[in-house]
Amino acid sequence: MKAPPSPPDLIGQSQVFLDALDHASRIAGIDRPVLVVGERGSGKELFASRIHFLSSRWDGPLVKVNCAAMNEALLESELFGHEAGAFTGASRKHKGRFERAEGGTLFLDEIASASLRVQEKLLRAIEYGEYERVGGEETLSADVRVVAAANVDLRARARDGDFRADLLDRLAFDVVAAPPLRARRADIPLLAAHFAGAVLAEIGAAPFPGFSPEAVASLQAHHWPGNVRELKNAAERAAFAWSVGSGEEKGGGLISEIVIDPFERAHGKPAPPGKDAAAAREKETEAGADAAMGVGPAADAGGVTGGVTDLRAHLDLMEKEIAAAALNRHGGNQRRAAKALSLSYDQMRGIVRKYGLS
């Protein structure tokens, strides 16, 4: 009998991370839908893989689909398949992800991006194990465990009518929270060393020499809005720069240069060491809004008007900049941003629509 594979490595030793890992491991044993929530880059897909490989379905397929990467029609076809002639260009029958995941697990990433129509079909497939291919009449059965992931508040989406409450109830048999990296700072040196060592081995460079104390301090001081994915990029970038620079040529030396935001370096505006680049950009945005009002250190010193010649345009700019800064400060959560600005939720939604903010 084939032995089950080891679940994917999830690296960390902080208590909040170990608690989440234990939760995922325990819920793997019961064949029910699971919702994995967490910020972008926090490892939701790895948690989903762990749930699959520790479940009774470990020897079945693990099929993944990113709901945000497709429009409604394409996502519906990818999930449920289509018959030949179902639409222009459908020259032959196509097996959907539910069909390919038979006997295994289907991971639905970015589930909040699915349209209400697709959500309705998902609910039926999960609740009753039945679905039809696009353009087909035959009812197919689905012996599939669904693990879904979201980086937004699905309860708020359901209250606003943007996500089906009955689907959320069905998906959330249990909810596993992937902790953000800032909640597990003790794991940052461990993760950074793992990523740096792996990329050096990949390119055939010298063994990982370690990070300098200053580099570790810089890594631990950053806010990491992109979480583990962002840390991985920064650690690999630093290790690669060390391997092609003077560090390896001089027979070693610890990796000391950390470039967290390559865009700022590319534009000649490196972020201060150990500072959150996002916070620095937010301060620049707020300073720009002050300048538009003719106040603050960046304002024109020539008088109250500060060079303003179109009051309405500048008021609109001020409203947009302040709203954008508040959304950035609160991770895109419109309710929290509205509260911080003493606005109603509807007022904030109106501003977001008015200026196309996201």
| Owner of token pair 């911080």 | 340
Select the more confidently predicted residue: 8 or 71.
Answer: 71
Indicate the pLDDT class of residue 119, thresholds 50, 70 and 90: very high
Q: What is the pLDDT of residue 133?
A: 87
Indicate the pLDDT class of residue 251, thresholds 50, 70 and 90: very low
Give which of 146, 67, 76 is closest to 110, Cα–Cα: 67
Domains assigned to the chain:
15-177 (3.40.50.300), 193-266 (1.10.8.60), 277-355 (no CATH)
For 35, the 3-state DSSP assignment is: strand
Residue 248 CA to residue 205 CA, distance in Å, equals 8
Select the more confidently predicted residue: 110 or 296.
Answer: 110
Mean pLDDT of 112-130: 95
Residue 305 CA to residue 231 CA, distance in Å, equals 44
pLDDT for 63-90, tens place per residue?
999 999 999 989 999 999 888 756 666 6
> Does position 49 have pLDDT exceeding 50, yes or no?
yes
SS3 annotation, 173-211: CCEEECCCHHHHHHHHHHHHHHHHHHHHHHCCCCCCCCE
Select the more confidently predicted residue: 129 or 288.
Answer: 129
Indicate the pLDDT class of residue 37, thresholds 50, 70 and 90: very high
CB 185 within 8 A of CB 227: no
State the average pLDDT for the chain.
83
> Does position 243 have pLDDT exceeding 60, yes or no?
yes
pLDDT for 132-147, tens place per residue?
888 888 889 899 999 9
Residue 131 CA to residue 103 CA, distance in Å, equals 15
> Does position 173 have pLDDT exceeding 50, yes or no?
yes
Residue 212 CA to residue 226 CA, distance in Å, equals 23
Q: What is the pLDDT of residue 338?
A: 83
> Does position 203 have pLDDT exceeding 90, yes or no?
yes
Q: What is the pLDDT of residue 90?
A: 66
pLDDT for 253-307, tens place per residue?
899 999 998 887 666 654 444 444 444 444 444 444 344 333 344 444 434 344 4
- CB-based contacts of 17: which residues, under 8 Å, 6+ apart? 10, 179, 184, 187
